[in-house]
Structure formats: structure tokens, C-alpha cells
Amino acid sequence: MKHSPWMMTLTTTATLIVSVAVAALVYTYTSTTNKFRRKQEDERCAGYEALIGNTPLVKLEKLSKILKRNVYVKMEHMNPGGTGKDRAALAMIDQAEKHNLLPRGGGGIVVEGTSGSTGIALAALCNTRGHKCVIVMPDDQAVEKQQLLQYLGARVEVVPTASISNPKHYVNMARRYAKRECDGGKFAFFTDQFENEANMLAHYTTTGPEIWEQTRHEVDCFVMSSGTGGTISGVGMYLKEQKRSVKVVLVDPPGSCLYNKVKHGVAYTSEQRERSLRRHRYDTIAEGIGLDRVTQNFSIGLDCDTIDDAIFVKDQEAVDMAHWLLKEEGFFVGSSSAMNLVGAVKISQQLQENSTIVTVFCDSGQRHVSRFWSEKFIQERNLQWPHGDVSIANLLQQVT
Ligand SMILES: Cc1ncc(COP(=O)(O)O)c(C=O)c1O
């Protein structure tokens, strides 16, 4: 397609404006995130928050051998809240306290709409900071996340799944809850993980640099799904600034519109045609990833030309991968982590032999025992439970 000169100037100017805005945000933000950088050589650390970040990067030996590419995984489920969302949650609370949107020293109310992981991260941090935590979540997430939130002391409201244009969508409900509390004179803050850029900046200032150092600057490709888009945008942007040729690839599940947004510039998915729309918005078993809209945190990555490509992953491929991974490499992971790894396999053959691919384990299988790791649930969704014959042969056949 040919673009007119003014159109190209407009695009260049827009990219420039976004880059400058991001650079300014990063500048003001870095000072508050330096405390993330626990010195590797100092084994001691002060309190719960000091455990956030600096997660290991682990090579999957068998998969790397099969693919003839080095596949590394950033173990984000080893953060103290069991999720990479700990980084974003800490950054958003820090930012709010810094700008007096939450009282320093505690006494505020943190409100979020979340599929679970960010809520868990926030709830734990609210305990260390002395705030109350209110979480609104959709009803299509594993019940163990709900229970954990309650154990952590959060107030949990579970609402039916709805589209973002519906006032009853969990994010809209959370926003209104925070406003009502503020109107009533309380110190409430809606963290707004999808739009709050502190989320993406947490990954830009911590996860990205960690991966860069841990790979000894030898990373060639970063593969990640998107929930809010914070991880893919933040890590992708940092890695690309170090080495422009790093390929940043989105992994997208069924029912999400982001694959088409990256591939064709249009946020659309056939599952969301009016006639085929199911009661649940996302036709996937993957939790915490895939969207029917483009969020600010994802947009930043797109507008800065950070995200190069997208890979579509089927639910069955994620199930097979999770079982194979447990049997062959010993890791028990959740649905989004398995999707990420399928994405890494699919992209691997587009990269040269011996190149280095990095992806992320977002959370553990323990948070998915009632759905992704339940044989009954998998069969109810018309998927195959991989009994004895755990195999990713089909997947490998497609790519090798
Ligand atoms: C389990 C899980 N995996 C992956 C993600 C995606 O992370 P991000 O929000 O940074 O895109 C999320 C986000 O909520 C999640 O809950």
C-alpha cells in the first residue's frame, strides 16, 4: 500500500511524540523503581517487597535441543505473589502514593478490576502498605484465585462476564466503586492496570533490563501474550532499545482481537461476530490474556513499532504443551504460560539455528487446578485431555 507524504509525516510525528512521552515518563519513573534493583550479590533483603523482581531465567534444555534454538523462560511465577503482576502492582501503588492519590503510610482503598493475578499482587501489597483492597473480577476465572484473594484479606466481588462497552464489565464496575468511595470522602484509588502506564514502565525498568543482562545481551526474540499489554510493551521496548533486531512477538488466544490488530491493523476477531458471540466474551480457556479492545499499555508497544509479529495459539495446543512441559521439563504452569511456550515453538523456525528466544511463565499450575488442569473441565470444553501419550509432535510437525 502506498502512503501519501503527509500521511507518512503524520505517522513519523505521531511515533516521535509517543517516544518522547514514553522517555519523559521513564525519566520521572526510574528514580522510584531503583529500589526494585536488589543487588544480586546481596542475599539478604528487607521485607516482602524486596522479593519482587530479579526472577531467574531458565533454559528449557529438552525443548532447546529439539528446536535447535535456545529457549529461555523468565520465571515470573517466582515473584512473591506468584505472578509477574507483582511488578506492575508495586509500581502502580508507588506511583499513586507519590502523587498523593493514596495516603502514604496506609489508610487508603485500592480498587481494581482484574482476572485475578493483579488482584492477588495488589492484595498482598495492600497488607504491607496498610491499605484496604477491593477486587472486582469476572466469573470465568478459576475459583482458587478468588479464594486466595479472600485469604489475603481483599474484598472480592465476582460479576458476570460482559463486554467492555457494558457498564457491568468488571473494569467499569471497579472504576465506579472507586469513584463512589471518593465521592463519599474516602481515599480510594482505581489502579486501572489496563490504562495505567506505570504497569508497562515497571517492565521497561525491571523485567526488560533483567532479561537483557541474564541473556548476556544475546536475546534474539521475545515472545509474550497480552493481558493488559504491560509486559510485552515494556520488555519489548527496552530490548529493542538495546538491540533493534530483537523480534517481539505477540501470542494471542482464540477470541482475542489483538492478533489481527498486529497483523492487519484492525482489532477484530471472527468469534466476536454478532451471530457467533457466546455468552462469554472470550472463547478460550486461557486466563488473564486476550482482549476485545486495544488498551493503553498495549497501544504504547504498537505505536512505538515494538511489536513485530503475532502468533495465534489454539487452546488444545496450550493443553498439550502444559502436559508435555510437566513431564519432560518438570514445570507445572498455568494456561497463559503454556500459550507463551507454544508461541515460542511456532516462531522458532523463523529464526536462525542457535538463536535465543525468551518467553515468560506468568503463573503456576496451582492457580489453575479447577479449570486448565481439570480433566473434567477440559473435556467439557470439547478438548482432549492428554492421558499417557503426552506429546507435542503435531506442533513440532507444523513448524519443523
Ligand atoms: C496469568 C496471566 N498471564 C499473563 C498475563 C499478561 O500480562 P500483561 O498484563 O502484562 O499483558 C496476565 C495478565 O493479567 C495474567 O493474569
Three-state SS at 159: strand
**2, 35, 74, 85: the active-site residue:** 85
Q: Is 115 in the pocket of ligand 1 (CB under 6 A)?
A: yes
Calpha distance 335→369 (Å, rounded)? 11
Q: Is 363 in the pocket of ligand 1 (CB under 6 A)?
A: yes
- Residue type for position 293: R
pLDDT per residue as tens digits for the range 207-252:
999 999 999 999 999 999 999 999 999 999 999 999 999 999 999 9
Q: Is 229 in the pocket of ligand 1 (CB under 6 A)?
A: yes
**One CATH from 3.40.50.800, 3.40.50.1100, 2.40.170.20, 1.10.340.30 for 48-80+203-399:** 3.40.50.1100
pLDDT per residue as tens digits for the range 51-110:
999 999 999 999 999 999 999 999 999 999 999 999 999 999 999 999 999 999 999 999
Output the CA 226–ligand 1 centroid distance in Å.
6
Output the CA 118–ligand 1 centroid distance in Å.
8
Q: Is 82 in the pocket of ligand 1 (CB under 6 A)?
A: no
Q: What pLDDT is recorded for position 274?
A: 47
**Mean pLDDT, rounded, for 273-301:** 75
Calpha distance 371→367 (Å, rounded)? 9
Fold agreement between 48-80+203-399 and 85-190? yes
Q: Is 208 in the pocket of ligand 1 (CB under 6 A)?
A: no
* Mutational test site, ligand 1, from 201, 224, 226, max ligand atoms within 8 Å of CB: 226
Q: How many CA atoms lie within 13 A of 31 on its CB side?
A: 5
pLDDT per residue as tens digits for the range 140-183:
888 888 999 999 999 999 999 888 888 999 999 999 999 999 99
The protein residue with its alpha carbon nearest to ligand 1, atom 1, reads 288
Distance of CA 80 to the CA centre of its chain: 16
**One CATH from 3.40.1360.10, 3.30.365.10, 3.40.50.1100, 3.40.47.10 for 85-190:** 3.40.50.1100
Q: What pLDDT is recorded for position 280?
A: 45
C-alpha distances in Å from residue 176, one per residue of 108, 118, 202, 354: 16, 18, 26, 51
**Mean pLDDT, rounded, for 328-348:** 97
The protein residue with its alpha carbon nearest to ligand 1, atom 14, reads 288
Q: What pLDDT is recorded for position 25?
A: 66
Q: Is 231 in the pocket of ligand 1 (CB under 6 A)?
A: yes
Q: What pLDDT is recorded for position 115?
A: 76
Q: What pLDDT is recorded for position 1?
A: 47
Burial 128-165, CB ≥16 within 10 A → b, else e:
ebebbbbbbbbebbbeebbebbeebebebeebebbeee
Q: Phi/psi class of residue 290: alpha, beta or left (left: φ > 0; alpha: ψ in -120 to 50)?
A: left
Q: How confident is the model at residue 338 (pLDDT cuts 50, 70, 90)?
A: very high
In this structure, are residues 301 and 229 in contact, taking their beta carbons and an 8 Å threshold?
yes
Structural domain spans, the chain = 48-80+203-399, 85-190
The protein residue with its alpha carbon nearest to ligand 1, atom 16, reads 288
Asked about 85 being catalytic, the answer comes back as yes
pLDDT per residue as tens digits for the range 40-68:
555 666 899 999 999 999 999 999 999 99
Nearest to 315 by CA among 377, 238, 224, 245: 377
Q: How many residues does the chain have?
A: 400
